[in-house]
Amino acid sequence: MRWSDLRTRIPRLDEAAMVHARNRQQQLTKPPGSLGRLEDVAVHLAGIQATPRPRVQRKVFLVMAGDHGVTAEGVSPYPSEVTAQMVLNFLRGGAAISVLARWQQARLWVVDVGVDADLPEHPGLWIEKVRRGTGNIAREPAMRREEAEAALDVGVRAVERAAAEAGMDVLVLGEMGIGNTTPATALAAVFTGQPVERLVGRGTGLDDAGLARKRAVIERALALHQPDPRDPVAVLAAVGGLEIAALAGAMLAAAARRVPVMLDGFIATAAALVATALAPRVRDYLIPGHRSAEGGHGLMLAHLGLEPLLQLGMRLGEGTGAAVALAVVEAACRLHNEMATFAEAGVSEAEA
Amino acid sequence: MRWSDLRTRIPRLDEAAMVHARNRQQQLTKPPGSLGRLEDVAVHLAGIQATPRPRVQRKVFLVMAGDHGVTAEGVSPYPSEVTAQMVLNFLRGGAAISVLARWQQARLWVVDVGVDADLPEHPGLWIEKVRRGTGNIAREPAMRREEAEAALDVGVRAVERAAAEAGMDVLVLGEMGIGNTTPATALAAVFTGQPVERLVGRGTGLDDAGLARKRAVIERALALHQPDPRDPVAVLAAVGGLEIAALAGAMLAAAARRVPVMLDGFIATAAALVATALAPRVRDYLIPGHRSAEGGHGLMLAHLGLEPLLQLGMRLGEGTGAAVALAVVEAACRLHNEMATFAEAGVSEAEA
């Protein structure tokens, strides 16, 4: 399946399953509504998976990696080489997302969508390089349109492959790409209509001068390419990223399969802006994991109408915020399925 | 050990362990500070456990149960019988806290501090009944001073017994007691100095008339007993609860053993106000799990200077908010211990 075929194949949430799930919540041995967001999450999962008894046992983490030509402009305190170094760290199990995947008993695969280095063969790494890093968006397009489409399709294939190999009740999407808050901010500006100033942040740790430089670079890129949000693929090609395109493709594919996507932070949400521009119904399949400490993430979530589960001041990326939030989702799902009803437990209900 | 012996036996947080832990966080393969609250939690655990590499593997959940004479005033939509019914539900594994304990692979014990029913023998239930329910605080003291002290000691013994049987790296404290938001609100008013109006909430689901009645009952109890916050045991005896006293005793005992206590919602935080009034240093051992949707819980946390990890609109009690938040704490601890350092992973650090 190609990304473009999926745009019209994303089903509506299953309203009947949601009604059944909401009814079940009312019968569980607790005051109605007393589990707060956890009840809403369980009902949402029911609508996504089209069953009143959803499950989140088979967990897949996919981390998309790519490099960014715009690092030449000094927009990150880390050198581009760190992208490849961190991919190796993922594979060896030492990165934050590796630790969280073990904790969650999830399968973790890294997808090389465009790292500017030759990575070794490894069972946890899928090499699907579209090109070696993007162009420097301050001076040239990030990629050609065909490359953006190919990167979207990398995301689609990754979801299909992971589902075939491991099954997939829930998907955590993460990314690695030194410099990628810069294209993510550009995408956010295009799709939310907010000024760069309100969206831009310090990324991995820029100082004031670096932040001002990054903002100017993004504004220059937008002025140069004049991306039109009505053509999301063109926007991706102009100011996006290879791993960001793959994330957007993966969101389309997961939604088409009725798999909930745990939404991570700034970069993943930029990808969600692309995915929902391509197919608005994707939004219904996103579970917003957390609000990042990075710049305008809250504005991006608000644009999508999503209220994050967690606000823990995280800004690491890799899918880490989504991975932590997955614990909340699992708790919600287990409570929904495993709690006794008033009738089963012989507990008196509230007096009218 | 009696509760009164513990007041002077609560150690300071281990500053050296916290410095070591903070240094380790700076060396892990992530931008400094990018794990936000998770970094702070790991450092806090290090200070509590007096080791730079804390752990939260051996998890104990203790649920204290007791009845409340004030239910005669119509302060809850549920009848008092539900306390005992819910204890049976805990033991059979059908309650929310039972589900979360299984999920967390925790040991769960229920302690009958004063349920007004004869409960069956069960390995998961410790019967330590101080009396069968409290007096109706709107008309009489909740209990005698000696009973309040005995209930504090029930909490101390429960922690000692659980630690002996299972080991204890972390403690989740919960409660069950129909009507117990009423004494908890009275305690909150005494210890925070806030007016009842700002603290009182709907509990398990009062309507407007019920809420007004509950507020009047609490104000009547406070006017009747005039509790003095400088004598916390007298406050407990006047307007407290048996399970609330046991929670406070358990907090003292956990702190004395350097065990972090996951703090749940409204009732548990009322107990924390008592415990910190008895021994201010207890506060350093509390990890605030969540902010409840119930009334003035946020004011109580603010009085203690605690910022909750989660805000999910939960208001179930039983320890459920603390149990969900424990997942965040476990994530923090695993990341702290299992992530590779820059040197170990051969990853370049940020440029100065």
Cβ(B17)–Cβ(B51) below 8 Å: yes
For B116, the token pair is 């007004």
Q: Give the residue on A whose Cα is nearest the Cα of B344.
A: A94
Residue B275 pLDDT grade (very low, low, confident, very high; cuts 50, 70, 90):
very high
Cβ(A297)–Cβ(A272) below 8 Å: no
- For A59-329, CATH number? 3.40.50.10210
pTM of the model: 0.98
For B167, the token pair is 């080991």
Query: Domain B3-54+336-345 falls in which CATH fold?
Result: 1.10.1610
Q: Which residue has the higher pLDDT, B122 or B351?
A: B122
Q: Residue B352 pLDDT more than 70?
A: no
Q: Residue B299 pLDDT more than 80?
A: yes
Q: How far does A1 lie from chain B, in Å, by closest CA?
A: 36
Residues from chain B contacting residue A96 (CB–CB below 8 Å): 28-30, 35, 335, 339
Q: Select the residue from B61, B287, B338 to test the A interface by mutation, using most A Cβ atoms within 10 A.
A: B338
**Sheet bearing A59-66, strands edge to edge:** A125-127, A107-114, A59-66, A170-176, A261-263, A286-288
Residue A218 pLDDT grade (very low, low, confident, very high; cuts 50, 70, 90):
very high
Q: Residue B349 pLDDT more than 90?
A: no
Angle between helices A320-338 and B320-338 (to 10 degrees): 140
* A85–B346 CB contact, under 8 Å: yes
ipTM of the complex: 0.97
pLDDT digits (tens, 9 = 90+) for B199-244: 999 988 999 999 999 999 999 999 999 999 999 999 999 999 999 9
pLDDT at site A352: 58
Q: Give the residue on B whose Cα is nearest the Cα of A319.
A: B35
- Residue range(s) in chain B whose domain bears CATH number 3.40.50.10210: 59-329
Q: Residue B107 pLDDT more than 90?
A: yes
Cβ(B292)–Cβ(B265) below 8 Å: yes
Separation CA A285–CA A171 (nearest Å): 10
pLDDT digits (tens, 9 = 90+) for A128-173: 999 999 999 999 999 999 999 999 999 999 999 999 999 999 999 9
* A312–B335 CB contact, under 8 Å: no
Q: Residue A220 pLDDT more than 70?
A: yes
pLDDT at site B9: 97
Q: Select the residue from A24, A27, A28, A30 to test the B interface by mutation, using most B Cβ atoms within 10 A.
A: A30
pLDDT digits (tens, 9 = 90+) for B303-341: 999 999 999 999 999 999 999 999 999 999 999 999 999
Separation CA A197–CA A82 (nearest Å): 27
> Count of alpha carbons within 13 Å of A125, Cβ hemisphere only?
22
- Residue range(s) in chain B whose domain bears CATH number 1.10.1610.10: 3-54+336-345
Residues from chain A contacting residue B324 (CB–CB below 8 Å): 38, 327-328, 331
pLDDT at site B255: 98
What does A213-282 look like in DSSP terms, one character per residue?
HHHHHHHHHHHHH---TTSHHHHHHHH--HHHHHHHHHHHHHHHTT--EEE-SHHHHHHHHHHHHH-GGG
* B345–A34 CB contact, under 8 Å: no
Q: How far does B208 lie from chain A, in Å, by closest CA?
A: 13
What does B57-121 look like in DSSP terms, one character per residue?
-SEEEEEEEE--GGGGG---SS-THHHHHHHHHHHHT-SHHHHHHHHTT-EEEEEEEE-SS-PPP
For B274, the token pair is 């008592």
Q: Where are the alpha helices (DSSP H) in chain B?
A: 3-6, 15-27, 37-49, 81-92, 96-103, 145-166, 181-192, 196-199, 208-225, 232-239, 242-256, 266-278, 297-304, 320-338, 342-345
pLDDT at site B351: 74
φ, ψ dihedrals at B28, nearest 5°: -75, 155
pLDDT at site B295: 79
Q: How far does A152 lie from chain B, in Å, by closest CA?
A: 27
Q: Give the residue on B whose Cα is nearest the Cα of A207.
A: B352
pLDDT at site A349: 86
Q: How far does B275 lie from chain A, in Å, by closest CA?
A: 26
Residue type, A280: P
CB atoms within 10 A of CB A281: 18
Residues from chain A contacting residue B78 (CB–CB below 8 Å): 31, 348-351
CB atoms within 10 A of CB A228: 11
